[in-house]
Amino acid sequence: MGTYIVRRVSLALLIIFAAIVGTFFLTRLIPSDPAMLWVGRFASSEQIEKAREQLGLNDAWYVQFVRYVGLLLHGDLGVSTRTHNPVVRELVTRLPASMELIIFGMTFGIVLGIVLGCLSAAKPNSSFDHIARFTSVAGVALPQFWFAMILQLTFGKVLGILPLSGRMDLRLGLYHPVVTRTGFFLFDSFVSGNWIAFQDALLHLILPALTLAAYPIGMSARLMRAKMIEVLGEDYTRTTRAFGIRETRIFLVYSLRNALGPVVTLTAISFVYTLIGTFLIESIFAWPGVGSYTAQAILSNDVPVILAVTLLVAILTVVLNLIADLILIALDPRIRGWEG
């Protein structure tokens, strides 16, 4: 077990270092001048040259790379060329909004997908199974931006029951402000007993969260159905039935545990996919998170922000896959033997 974890952690660190190297050199291929972005396009040549000296752009590439790695080791992700603020500070400010949206959408999507997959596997080829399979395929196939606009049109414009954008109504925020503790509006308003703000934050969260949940629902439902049908047809499942064990216990205890392994791995992958999906979704719903911040950085060629977000996504991908591997070991200890 210890050797397995050491190997996985070592591989994770190697992949993260490769991501640092790759993103650093790829951003150098972007056809833009960070010095000009720093001082503005109407700056004089003297101001641009001074900015190049200040940003260290005249140094050799290996000097810039060593300095970049050194800053990373100290938790410094650089300064935005667009806002002139430290990237770390801006990410920390915006990250809670994105995490609240992703956690809410992912939790709803994975749980609903598992339930749909289990119910479909319990009654394959039934009417419910056909509806669930169609829903799961639609969740994966439909473009997120199209689904987001359909939700806005239906629930915002036509029915008028849900807000179209933002995290909270601006006027309501003036009269019932949320006391910020964690940056998660639902949690902060709940803890402080600000129920009006809690209700408003929840209403604003529903549409973007449903948009993000579409892909996890579709993938987890399809995978769970296929795996449950496979497990229910195994020899050991038929043996447990022969011993007179109740079908409910066979389904919920023995079969469900063995079928959850691939779903755990899918959850890790879906989380990263959902994080990347927020780049567009947050822009559509005017959600003030990392996604909309990154979209603005890409449009303005803000290289330090692009580097920081790319590195953040890479680290999250590696860490979540590592956690998924460890959970798989807990669910199925035979994996240790296969890896050993």
SS3 79: strand
Q: Supply the pLDDT for residue 207.
A: 92
**Residue 208 banded pLDDT, cuts 50, 70, 90:** very high
Of 22, 203, 218, 243, the closest CA to residue 135 belongs to: 218
2 pLDDT higher than 70:
no
Q: Is residue 99 included in any domain, yes or no?
A: yes
pLDDT value at residue 205: 92
Per-residue pLDDT tens over the stretch 181-193: 888 888 888 888 8
Confidence of residue 338 (pLDDT cuts 50, 70, 90): very low
pLDDT at 81: 81
- pLDDT for res 297: 83
Structural domain including 222 reads: 87-302
Residue 168 resides in a domain = yes
User: What is the DSSP code (8-state) at residue 254?
Assistant: I
Q: How much is the pTM?
A: 0.77
Q: What are phi and psi of 86, to 5 degrees?
A: -60, 135
Strand partners, 79: 86
Calculate ∠ Cα 98-308-108, nearest 5°: 25
Query: If you average pLDDT over residues 244-270, what whole number do you get?
Result: 71
Classify residue 182 by its DSSP letter: S
Instruction: Say if residues 197 and 173 touch (Cβ distance below 8 Å).
Output: yes
The type of residue at 310 is: T
Flag whether 158 is in a domain.
yes
Confidence label for 340 from pLDDT (cuts 50, 70 and 90)? very low
Percentage, residues of the chain above pLDDT 90 = 2
**Rounded to an integer, what distance in angstroms lies between the CA atom of residue 310 and that of residue 161?**
36
At 243, the pLDDT band (50, 70, 90 cuts) reads low
| Residue 35 falls inside a structural domain | no
Is residue 31 a part of any domain in this protein? no
* CA 266 to centroid of chain Cα atoms: 12
Structure-derived torsion over alpha carbons of residues 206, 208, 210, 211, reported in degrees to the nearest 10: 160
d(CA 295, CA 33): 19
Is the pLDDT higher at 134 or at 34? 134
Please state, as a whole number, how many other Cβ atoms lie within 10 Å of the Cβ of residue 121: 23
**pLDDT digit string, tens, across residues 53-104:** 777 777 777 888 888 888 888 888 888 888 888 888 888 888 888 888 988 8
Specify whether the CB–CB gap between 197 and 185 falls below 8 A: yes
* Residue 216: inside a domain: yes
> Could you report the per-residue pLDDT of 268-322, keeping only the tens digit for each?
667 767 777 777 888 888 888 888 888 888 877 788 888 888 888 888 777 777 7
User: For 34-38, 152-156, 224-228, which range has the lowest pLDDT when averaged over its residues?
Assistant: 34-38
127 lies in some domain: yes
Within a domain: 339? no
Pick the range with the lowest mean pLDDT from 71-80, 100-109, 132-141, 252-261: 252-261
Average pLDDT over residues 113-125: 84
- CATH code for the domain of 212: 1.10.3720
pLDDT of 262 > 50? The answer is yes
For range 191-219, the mean pLDDT: 89
**What is the tens place of the pLDDT at every residue in 163-179?**
888 888 878 777 778 88
Three-state helix/strand/coil letters over 192-229: CCCHHHHHHHHHHHHHHHHHHHHHHHHHHHHHHHHHHH
Q: What is the mean pLDDT of residues 140-152?
A: 85
- Number of domains within the chain: 1
